[in-house]
Structure formats: structure tokens, C-alpha cells
Structure 1
């Protein structure tokens, strides 16, 4: 961790400081190359929507609204069915056997990538399979991150926390808005009932998936888009889960959420500055990121 943050984070142990800095780096790097590519797709989709609206505002608007609502309904139904069963077979990890950092779960990214490629190959009809499969797999992956972080999956609060990750906004969020959206959403959904929380998460994820599926609507050509975007989205929510459950664990251990939030925000800002500086040719940044743990 950078030396200039050591005093501010003095209320944490060295190991906790390292955990928080790693979470800050993940937050700063939450939009990788594939997600920036997804942003390109998003701009193309906006152009497509404008084109449809020009040919007939009423028809285009109704078609787009209907697509979003259909996807959202499917996601909501999937979340309801997965809410209790996404953790099936996931037993608590004993403290001594717990990994130092949550596992990367590459099989989940591989599975959703294959699903995106398959659904994109046949076009929009493949969406009927891809939506529930991708949503369930992402939620399962989030639950595994929670387990590796020491959460008790048998508790209702943990399952709610898994759903919260899906409500933190889509991967299309601008860099500097990811952190703001995270804290705002946590504040807004903490006291929602499960019914409202699932509706909120389905709304956020439904819009994201609607745009993704428009990008892969053309058969065969959509296979590459579907595979790349599914991989990127799964990785994004896995990373957000790592940040979320790391902060939850540190909040419980320190008992001072406000100090932790202030320290984390400063770490994220420094991590973003480090990333921007390191992109300039011939410029070396004075601080190195902690290496990501791979398992």
C-alpha cells in the first residue's frame, strides 16, 4: 500500500490494509478492455435505437420498452428461483482452509462465455436460454466469492448481500461513477424487502442485458459479441463481489464503517491516478499495484 495512506489506515492491521488496497485497485480497474469494448457496443445500440425511433417513434419506442420489460421479467423470475438455490452445495469454508483472497472462478466465466457464443450464433431466440443461465451463473459466482470471504451463506443477510452486487449498476458505468454508484446503492437498498431488492436488481441487470442482446442479435456475427460481453459482465460482477464482501468483512472487524469508507475512497482515487499516469508513454508511477491473486 502507498506510504502516504499508511497513517490514514492506521486503524487497520497491515493485512487489512493490504486487503483494502487490493479492493481499491479492483474498483479502479473494474472497467477493463472488454468492458470498454462493451461501451462501444452500447454506443452502437443507442444509434440503433435512434434509427428505429426515426422510422416510427411509436413503433420503435414500444418495441424497445417491450424488450427491456421482457428481459427484466425473465431476470426477476430467475433471481426469485435462484435466490435460495444459488448457494446449493456451497458449504462454509473453515477458517484455516479459507483462501487468502476469493478464488477467481474461471469456470463461471468460461460457462457464460460459451452460453453467450451459443445464443449469439442463433440470434435473439437464444436469449431465452442465455438470460436465465447467465444470471444464475453470475449469482452463483457472487455467492462463492461471499463464501471465500468468510460469509455464512445460510444467513438471509448474506443472500441479500449477493443480490445487492447485481444492483450496483452495470458494467457500462463510467470509471469515476462506479464507486459513487456503489455507495449510493448500498445506502438505498440496505433496508429494502427481498421483493423490492430483487425487483431493483432485476431492473439494473435487465437494462444491461437488453443492450447486450441487441449487440448479439445478428446470427453468427453475434456469437463473438455474446461471448466477449458475457465474459466481461461475469468478470465485472465477480470483481464487484470481491470489493463488496471485502468491505463488509472489514466493517465488521473494525466497527467503523465511516472511517473505512473515507480511507477506501482515497485509495480508489490514488489507484485511478496511478493507472492514468502509467498509461502515459515514458512515465513511471511511483507506486505499484499489488499483484492479483490467481487460483
Structure 2
């Protein structure tokens, strides 16, 4: 993604401990976070009535079952995600480190093939309705995890390191693409603090809970055979793009933290920048053309 919005002078002064290049990197990461959920939220609103209608049917299936059906469905989605996260990290990172340095992109990219792959999965599973969930959940989860790992590698992370594995899982544990998580920068730092001392088992369980809940609403939208293919494909594409964007923000900040050695000051500056970027968005100043994020190595 390219940007034309310059860093406001007041924010540059507050970030004086950073080099001009690092200030630009942080500002562009703030713009990415501020704008990250626009497309997802529009699609969620578009398919929201379909999701609500299916939820109502679930709750009306009978006094004995009632809401338990929905609770069981959400729990099943979370368990499927958790199982996939346990099994798929090695598969998700397979071959990424083998790519020679000279052939790797200079800047982290949002791999369009991952978005197209999950979109195809959503379309295919949507044609058959809820039975397609059995295939779509693990495939979508593993593909998004691989996309996150690719962003990590492009930012100079060692994919074989346990710390990198944890960092990739943290992306899935971040605030989801919903209006309830609109203050994403607050949720971002809270999540990082909260998972800092968790075991991998608890981290995977937490990531599966957040990400599984995101997928459960999406999968309800594709519960109606054939018609659900449109919802499944569009939402899979949008969700993959969202988590790719969050990965670019996450690993940009990790790289800057390593460079500056001052996470607290970086956190304060980033929160201010996201607030300013959100105000820019409200006034209709969207990113168009300009510089790309140049992430530190």
C-alpha cells in the first residue's frame, strides 16, 4: 500500500528519539492500523442481516436446544482453529526461509495469492453450506498463518525461533475486525502485555478463542448453500487482507523496538499517531500515492 499523508510536525516532535526514516515507518504503520478494518466492516454490514437471520433460526430451534446450538457452534470453530494452530506452524513456514535473500522482496508485501486462496476456499465451502466448514476453517487458518509468517520473514524475523512463532500467534490474538474493537491500538498493546508471559499452550488457546469467534460469524454468513459462496469468498478475502495488514503493523513495531530499545516511548508515539491517522480518515483523507513502508532490517 502507498501513502501520501505526511507526518504532522507535532507528532514528529514527539517522536524525536526516532530517525526521520523510523518516524515515517511508524506513521505509515499507524495509517495501516487506522484503516485496517474498513473493507471488512463494510462486508460485515453487507452480510450482517444474513448472519443475524441464521442466528435467530438457531436460537429458535427449540426450548431444549436454544442458544446451546450457537454456543456449541462457536466452541467447535474455536477448537478447530486451536487444533490447526498446534499442527500447522511448521507447515505454514515450510520453504519460506529457503528463499535466497536476494530473491526476497525489499519490503513486506500483502501476498495476493493467500487472499485468493482463502477466497476460493470460502466460495467452495459456501456452495455446500455449513458442511463446508469442516474444510474451510483449517485451510483458512493455516493460509492466514502462513501469510503472517511470510510478513515476519520479510521483516528479518527468524522463523525457526520460538519468539517468532509466538509473535505470529499474537497477530491472531489481536483485536478483531469489528466495531467493538475500534480502538485497536489500545487492544494491541494490551494483548502484547497480556500474552508476554503466557505459555505457548495458553497463547494458542487465546488466539484460537479470538480468531475462532471471528470465523464463526463469517461461517454463519456462508451457511446457506450457493448464496453463501458469495459471502464466504468475500469475507475470507477481506479477513485475510486484514490479518496481513495487522502482521505488517506488528512486525514493523517489533523491528522498531529492536532498533530503538525503548518500547514504552514507541508505544506512546504510536498511540498518538493512530489517533491522528483515524482523524485523517474521518475527514476523508485517504491514502493514495506516495511512499511505501520501508521496514528496518
TM-score exceeds 0.5:
yes
1:144 aligns with 2:143: no
Matches of 1:158 and 1:115 in 2, distance apart? Answer: 27
Query: Equivalents in 2 of 1:93, 1:233: separation in Å?
Result: 26
Q: Which residue of 52, 60, 64 corresponds with 2:70?
A: 64
| Contact 2:77–2:215 (Cα < 8 Å) also in 1 | yes
Unaligned runs of 5+ in 2: 1-6
2:175 counterpart of 1:169: yes
- Out of 179-188 and 238-247, give the one that drifted further: 179-188
Q: 2:289, 2:206 → 1: CA distance?
A: 34
- Which residue of structure 2 aligns with residue 257 of structure 1? 263
1:1-295 equivalent positions in 2, closer than 5 A = 1-42=7-48, 44-46=50-52, 48-50=54-56, 52-54=58-60, 56-91=62-97, 99-174=105-180, 176-278=182-284, 291-292=291-292
Partner-residue secondary structure (3-state), 1:152: coil
In structure 1, what is the Cα distance between the partners aligned to 2:63 and 2:245? 39
Q: Is the 8 A contact 1:22 1:290 kept in 2?
A: no
Contact 1:28 1:271 in 2 (8 A): yes
Query: CA, structure 1 residues 47+224, in 2 after alignment: closer, same or farther (shift >3 Å)?
Result: closer
Task: Name the CA distance, whole Å, in 2 between partners of 1:123 and 1:293.
Answer: 40
What's the CA shift for 1:37?
1.8
Q: RMSD of the TM alignment (CA)? A: 2.4
Aligned equivalents of 1:277, 1:115: Cα separation in 2? 36
1:35, distance to aligned residue in structure 2 (A) = 2.9
Closer, same or farther: CA 39–290 of 1 in aligned 2, 3 Å: farther
- Partners of 1:191 and 1:114 in 2: CA distance: 37
Count of residue pairs the alignment pairs up? 288
Q: Which runs of 5+ in 1 are unaligned?
A: 280-284
Deviation at 1:34, TM superposition (A): 3.6
